[in-house]
Structure 1
């Protein structure tokens, strides 16, 4: 159920073209791409912060032993 086939993708793009028009689609695509990029960067930063704090906790445990 989570997969989108070629037919569904073409249908979605056709509806978007009718609703927004050909002049707005590139701007919408660009803003969606930027939003996805920012989300990925934030997710990666959070992951790095978690890994760093986990590593710091492990080092503190070794020092206290």
Structure 2
């Protein structure tokens, strides 16, 4: 995964912000935030955006 989706959405998702709030803080369109979140969810093979912020100790090991 590139650093862009993570840098755009990571901190906001971790704080439970909506895509509108994340976009407001990052000065980008909420649609762009939605695109980045969707991309991250697909690449990590999770079902919800909340699963993106699971602690590393709970995440399955790669491989």
Q: TM exceeds 0.5?
A: no
Shorter-chain TM-score bucket reads 0.3 to 0.5
Q: TM-score, normalised by structure 2?
A: 0.34
Higher RCO (C-alpha 8 Å, min separation 6)? 2
- In terms of fraction of residues, the more helix-rich structure is 1
